[in-house]
Amino acid sequence: MRLLLKGGRVVDPANRINTVTCVLVEDGKIAAVGAIPGEEGDTSDTEVIDCTGKIVCPGFIDLHAHLREPGYEYKEDILTGSRAAAAGGFTTICAMPNTNPVVDNGAVAGYVARRAREVGIVNVLPIGSITKGQAGEELSEMAELVQAGCVAVSDDGKSVMKSDIMRHALDYARMFDIPVFSHCEDINLSADGEMHEGFRSTVYGLQGIPAEAEEIMISRDAMLAKLTGGRLHICHVSTMGSLEIIRRAKAEGIRITCEATPHHLTLTDEAVGSYDAVKKVNPPLRSEEHVAALREAVASGLIDCIATDHAPHHIESKDCEYGNAAFGISGLETAVALVMDRLVHTEVLQLSKAVALLTSAPARILGIEKGTLTPRRAADITIIDPDEVRTVDPRRFYSKGKNPPYKGMQLRGWPWMTLVAGRIVFKEGSVMEMKL
């Protein structure tokens, strides 16, 4: 079984390819990229897909998604989350461990991995928790987690407040060469905060979360990464100060990487003024100067990758008073369109850079053999139609989380087709499921 993707612009940053050419897929693997010998000859067993006008990329990787299963299936489950990923152009997603029970042992991690294989739409890589029950007190059994398939550890959703515990986590994780994903938030400073602290929190009368709540913890974690030599990955960086800390840490040779979310790159805290709870997210949407700094840092390479922090919620947790609403944005199905419309088409980012931020960069952070179109690798491929214009309509989401803040926004540049291991899982606006 061969598949020929013909006529598209192939963008494979890791292999420095950015040209109109062909990609040949054979038995679920990349067979060749470039002018395919024998293309004119025997094509009887080759399915040809005309990709003219499209962009053919390595499959997109999301380091940060909340799939909610087990325990919160009313918000999302591995099936709906996988569908949402496929529709959003992602072929590999990392599942955060703040489920119920928490992914703090091999059994739960194994369940997530197994269930994802059963669903079989995209690659789902579990992330284990740093501490048991994400309580911030005792380390989870990391060896067991890795054994069960975890690619990183994180207490995301919560900060590891105890410095000694975080130190040991970074230290211990070295033995398995996995990164520690840190949700940086000094919860004493953020307290009951509900939006970015600044002029607008004054105007809207909402409790503020100062930028320093994030920056203090990033500083601490960077120092602990230095102390231990562990690999630190900062989740959802959102402030100017955080970027400065990360820049200095990188210059010092500390093993630190970071991600930014599409919403922090495209929205400001002004959006909160309507008290519409779909804008409520943690870290909060920041003011213009922070957003500008993030956009600059994503272009300069200081920010290593883009991750969605896909946080689906049930409608009742969002269709309510702002103060009572849950934090989080359903992001898998809009991420690529936001990157294309708000960053690539506006020339904040070059196309190849944007693709790298979604492919080779996150793969490198995880240390997995993905994110490129290198021959013999699994044929995980995302094809984008850069000119498709569509209005964000949450009712059409595959995710159970119908809570994007972009409802009604018109965006240009959407995923057109998604292939996982050579199999088409998304095309013509529909997710294609394997017959089980």
Partner 1 sequence: MNFEKRKDLLGLKDMSREEIELILDTAVPMKDVIRREIKKVPALRGKGMITVFYENSTRTRTSFELAGKYLSADTSNLAVSTSSVQKGESLKDTIQTIEMMGPDILVMRHSMSGAPHYVARNTRMRVINAGDGTNEHPTQALLDMFSIRERKGTLEGLKVAIVGDILHSRVARSNIYGLSKFGCEVRVVGPSTLMPPEIERLGVRQYFDLKEGISGVDVINVLRIQRERQHAGLFPSLEEYAELYMLRPEHLELAGDGAILLHPGPMNRGIEISTELAEGPNTLVNEQVTNGVAVRMALLFLMMGGRRDEIAA
186 is catalytic: no
Report in angstroms how near the CB of residue 172 gets to partner 1 at its nearest. 35
State the alpha helices, DSSP H only, in 91-210. Answer: 106-119, 142-147, 163-173, 187-190, 199-204
- Closer CB to partner 1, 319 or 388, in the complex: 319
Nearest-CA neighbor of 254 among 179, 362, 157? 179
Q: Please, are residues 172 and 142 in contact by the beta-carbon 8 Å criterion?
A: yes
Q: Which of 77, 221, 309, 341 is catalytic?
A: 309
For partner 1, the closer of residues 97 and 210 by Cβ is 210
How far is it, in rounded angstroms, from Cα 308 to Cα 281?
Answer: 12
Contacts with 368 (C-beta within 8 Å, 6 or more apart), sequence order: 92, 125, 151
Element (H or E) spanning 300, and its range? helix 288-300
User: How far is 215 from 297, CA to CA, in rounded Å?
Assistant: 16
Q: Which of 285, 292, 283, 238 is nearest to 260 (CA)?
A: 238
Residue type, 78: I
Shortest gap between Cβ of 143 and partner 1 (angstroms)? 42
Binding-site ranges for partner 1 (CB under 8 A): 197-199, 201-208, 274-277, 316, 319-324
Min CB(271)–partner 1 separation in Å: 13
Question: Phi/psi zone of residue 42: left (φ > 0), alpha (ψ -120 to 50 degrees), beta?
Answer: beta
* Count of H-run helices and E-run strands, the chain: 13, 19
| Residue keyed to tokens 């499959």 | 59
Spatial contact of 181 and 232, defined as CB atoms under 8 Å apart: no
What is the smallest separation between the CB atom of 275 and partner 1, expressed in angstroms?
3
Query: In the complex, what is the shortest distance from the CB of residue 291 to partner 1, in angstroms, rounded to a whole number?
Result: 17
Q: Shortest CA distance to 312 belongs to which of 79, 72, 60?
A: 72
In the complex with partner 1, the residue whose CB is nearer, 308 or 317, is 317
What are the catalytic residues?
309
